[in-house]
Each structure stands twice: as C-alpha cells, then as structure tokens.
C-alpha cells in the first residue's frame, strides 16, 4: 500500500482526486534560506498524499492516518480558527487552505473532505510538513480553480508554516517539494526564487544517499530555531544590510571585530554555507558527485561548531558513516535532532548501516531508522 492508497482508503466519500508531494533531503545549504541565500535540496521518493472529496456545505474536514480525530472548520470561521491556534497537525492543511485563499482570493472555495497519509518520517529533518503543504496546496489549487503555479503554491506552503503554524522557516522545503526533478537537486536562490535543476548522477556514479534518522525529534516552532534566526538578523543589522545574503567571506574579519562571539559564529556559518552551496553546484557541473564529499563534511562541522544545531546522535552518525567509507556526510534539516545523510558507494551501504547501529547501541542511543533516499519528482496529481 502506498500513501495514495492509504489516503483514498481513509476518505469517507468518493474521491475527486488524489494529489501527493514528497519530503526532501537537503544536500547542502542549511539555515541559509531565511537569510535569502542559496540552498540545494532534492525531493525524495517518500511522499504524503491528500485524497479529496467534495461536500455540499462550506466545511473543510481534515483527517489523517497519523491522528485519531478529524478536525472540521467552516470557510467562514477559517480566519478565526487560524488566529486562535492550537490546531496541532491540522494547522498544516487548514493553514494551507487559509493561505491559498489569501493568495488567490478569486478561487471558487467550497467544502471539502481531505484525507492525508504519509510515508515521510516525522521529525527526521526530511520536511514532512512541506509534503503535507504541497499535497494539500496542489489539491485545493485544482479543486478550487485557484490557478496558481508551483512557485506560488510553494509560497502558500511557507505562509501556512510561518503564519498559521508559527514556525519561522524559509521557503526551501516547499520549493523542493513542489519543484523536484528525478535524479536532480534544486539549486534555489532564496532571494529571487530562481531555480535550476542540477543533475546529480548518483546512480551512474555508483553512489547512494544513506539517511540515518536518529529518532531525536525536533520542532521548528520551538526556541532554538528562532534564536538562530534572530542572531542572523542581528548580524545583518550590524552591517546595515537586508540579510546575510549580502555578505561574503571577505566580510568575516570585520564581522569578528564588530559582533559578539555567538552572533559572529552564527553569521560565519551562514556566509560560509552559502559559499559551500555555490561550490557544490560548481563541483557537480565540472566533476560529478564524487567531488562534493569534503564540502558536505565542512558543512556539518560548521553546523556543529558555529551554528550549534547538531546533537551527539547526529555527530555519531556522520563520524561512523565517514569511517565506513562515505565520501561525505552531514546533518540535514533544521537541527536539534532529525537525520544525517551520507554520500556513500552503494556497495558499502549494508556495512555502513550495521556500523551505525552498532555505534548507536554502544553509546546507549535509540536504534536509528536507516534507509536510502532517491532524488525524485515533486508535487503531482496521482489520480
């Protein structure tokens, strides 16, 4: 059974369609998106599906395989319910409905039943939230005749995440989920929203992306993420620029002089991470995927030491996969838990998987969930 099958089975009425959107793994470029910088994620094969049935009233009813109770709200009450908060998981699909109506006020909104099912691990840093947003936004865009393109639907997802759920994230996750291309990553300029699909060629090079989900859950709406964002804003303000995107590595000596130590290290991560994204894209274009390993390792060290968003489980996953033969490895996602990725020869995946399990057991950590991901297609209508 796929997520599409599960969503259709959960729906209490005949579906007019099923839409799905993938999670994403970020190859490199962490915490650069809300600083208007560069990111380089790819959509993964694991998806969230939204099955939709039409209603005769103005009620939006959402239910999912990951929560026991359905949540209902009328279109007329949507603004008030979003403002009141406390919707838990339902804040994501209902937030998308609310945001879509703001972005497309001429849409022909009507009552719908939405059933959600997901294959994307929650809390693993693979953006299960963007997958929900992309699936629901794609569905309502069609059903309500909103006429928005994929970039506009990514904006809808970000509005839902920022303003309805209260997570101060950038637009990377939504763009990756909407615009994913098989065997490619999306090089995204978060200031202009210009994108380019960059071929990865992992399979042809005999390489795989191995994910270690540490099972240490994180939450973007909690304080650590917000504090990092505020530090970045302080750094930009000290330079009198709109965002850290406007600074380069040449500005680091002055940054060290005018900023306190913590703020400087936060700023240094973002500036150097932007450069690493550019260097990764250039290396792929020139030399292929075997050339990017050291950039992944440097990215993890920067997140561990300068941005301080790693945890011991993530560090152990990175260290162990590198020792097992990975070309590069790093934590991926917002940090404070979640997953690490490793670029590794495919033939070494079984041994690396076992090595990580042994290392986690020896450290007294929970047994992680370890699997490979494949760069895959973005949001689509499945049925």
Asked whether the beta carbons of 73 and 208 are under 8 A apart, the reply is no
Q: How far is CA 185 from CA 64, 195, 374, in A?
A: 29, 10, 11
Q: Residue 178: which of 211, 199, 201, 152 has the closest Cα?
A: 152
Residue 364 burial (C-beta neighbours within 10 Å; 0-12, 13-18, 19+)? exposed
- Whether 149 is catalytic: no
Q: Are strands 112-118 and 17-28 parallel, antiparallel or unpaired?
A: unpaired
Catalytic residue among 173, 213, 306, 382: 173
Residues classed as catalytic: 173
């Amino acid at each position: 059974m796929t997520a599409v099958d599960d969503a259709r089975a959960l729906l209490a009425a005949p579906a007019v369609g099923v839409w799905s959107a993938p999670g994403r793994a970020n190859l490199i470029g962490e915490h650069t998106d809300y600083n208007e910088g560069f990111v380089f994620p790819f959509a993964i094969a694991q998806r969230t599906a939204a099955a939709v049935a039409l209603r005769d009233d103005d009620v939006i009813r959402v239910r999912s395989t990951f929560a026991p109770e359905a949540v209902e709200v009328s279109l007329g009450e949507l603004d008030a319910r979003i403002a009141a908060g406390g919707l838990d998981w339902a804040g994501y699909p209902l937030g998308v409905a609310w945001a879509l109506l703001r972005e497309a006020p001429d849409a022909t909104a009507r009552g719908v039943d939405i059933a959600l099912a997901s294959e994307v691990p929650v809390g693993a840093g693979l953006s299960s939230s963007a997958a929900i947003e992309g699936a629901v936004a794609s569905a309502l865009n069609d059903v309500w005749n909103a006429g928005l393109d994929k970039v506009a639907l990514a904006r809808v997802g970000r509005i839902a995440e920022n303003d309805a759920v209260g997570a101060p994230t950038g637009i990377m996750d939504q763009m990756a989920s909407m615009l994913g291309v098989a065997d490619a990553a999306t090089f995204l300029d978060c200031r202009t929203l210009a994108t380019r699909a960059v071929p990865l060629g992992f399979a042809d090079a005999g390489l795989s992306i191995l994910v270690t989900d540490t099972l240490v859950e994180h939450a973007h709406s909690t304080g650590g993420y917000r504090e990092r964002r505020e530090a970045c804003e302080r750094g930009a303000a000290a330079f009198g620029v709109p965002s850290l995107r406007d600074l380069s590595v040449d500005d680091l000596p002055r940054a060290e002089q005018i900023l306190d130590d913590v703020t400087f290290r936060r700023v240094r991560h973002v500036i150097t991470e932007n450069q690493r994204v550019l260097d990764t894209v250039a290396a792929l274009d020139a030399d292929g995927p075997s050339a990017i390993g050291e950039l992944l390792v440097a990215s993890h060290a920067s997140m561990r030491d300068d941005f301080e968003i790693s945890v011991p489980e993530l560090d152990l996953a990175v260290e162990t996969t590198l020792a097992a033969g990975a070309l590069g490895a790093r934590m991926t996602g917002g940090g404070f838990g979640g997953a690490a990725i490793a670029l590794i020869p495919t033939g070494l995946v079984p041994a690396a998987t076992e090595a990580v399990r042994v290392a986690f057991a020896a450290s007294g950590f929970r047994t992680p969930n370890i699997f490979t991901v494949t760069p895959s297609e973005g949001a689509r209508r499945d049925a």
